[in-house]
Amino acid sequence: MNSWLFFSSHFAFFVFINFPLSSSFDSYTNCSNAFHCGDITQVGFPFWGDGRPESCGYPELKLTCSNDVTAIEIMEVKYRLLKINQGDQTLKIVRDDYCDKVCSPKFGDTKLNSELFDYVIGSSDVTLLYDCTSSSKVADFSCPDDEAYKDVAAIPADVPRPPICKSKVVVRFSDATGFEIFNIQNATALEAVVREGFEVKYKVDSEKCGECVSSKGVCGYDWNLNETVCHCANQASESRTCSAATAEAIDNPAVVPPPAKGMN
């Protein structure tokens, strides 16, 4: 046999069987790294982004970091992440467009993906009204001259017949501090309440992830299958837990998982 052909065929075989293992090992290594940004630290599955690749978390749970501020996009609206409790699976968030100013809204109503999030008790919807033609039933506040609107008013979202206004947006407020909508006296006070944010609970398969971690794997997500997977050291990702061979390989790097059946 021609020596070049012999070498080429064996090299191709080597690449074929080793590429998936290397790719899987990359997922294990990369997803072992936690997300850190400002006060938000040690964040892992089900989140990804900023050094944690797509294979590390749910498609909808991408985190970004800019100037030590963590952000997440939900239903095409950008939120700042103020606090995270991975044990309770809760996030405290505030809409980025309302974090500093309430007189220049950029997005529509606050909405959540109900399959992935639930509101936590302690917050409620409020309707912000802009430049109303009839404001006899609400106390409106003047906006700065350089803002998009002249006036803004806040009323409970369940008011049956709100005034006629140029624009209205439903946002979520926290009532944890005893917030009463009609006690707000000006736009500055309203902005302070908005900056408190509100809490949501994210719904993921934490039990399956716990089994993965117990087998010395790292939790990840398969975007094609839409399910949690377990990234394992020195072998392909598994649907639930890593094999005993992988656990041994972590304790002793010299141990290599046996080849799949049918390979000689």
Instruction: Confirm whether 102 is domain-assigned.
Output: yes
79 lies in which domain range?
Answer: 59-202
3-state secondary structure of 210: helix
Asked whether the predicted pLDDT for residue 63 surpasses 90, the reply is yes
Structure confidence at residue 74 as a pLDDT band (50, 70, 90): very high
Question: Quick one: pLDDT at residue 137?
Answer: 54
**What's the rounded mean pLDDT across residues 22-41?**
84
Q: What is the pLDDT of residue 122?
A: 86
pTM of the predicted protein model: 0.76
Concatenated DSSP letters of 89-151: TEEEEEEGGGSS-SSS--S------TTTEEEPSSEEEEEEEEEES--TTS-EEEPPTTSS-SE
Is residue 145 a part of any domain in this protein? yes
Kindly indicate the confidence band of residue 85, based on its pLDDT and cuts at 50, 70 and 90: very high
Span 118-125, mean pLDDT?
A: 89
Examine residue 225 and state whether it is found in any structural domain, yes or no: no
Weakest-pLDDT range from 47-51, 57-61, 194-198: 194-198
Proportion of the chain above pLDDT 90, given as a percent: 36
Domain presence at residue 38: no
**Number of domains comprising the chain:** 1
Q: Is 149 in contact with 143 (CB distance < 8 Å)?
A: yes
The answer as to whether 160 is a domain residue is yes
Say if 49 falls within a structural domain.
Answer: no
Distances from the Cα of 13 to the Cα of 16, 257, 264, angstroms? 5, 18, 11
Can you give the pLDDT at residue 136? 52
- In this prediction, residues 56-63 reach a mean pLDDT of 96
| 166 in any annotated domain | yes
Residue 84 lies in a domain: yes
Structure tokens at 2: 């021609």
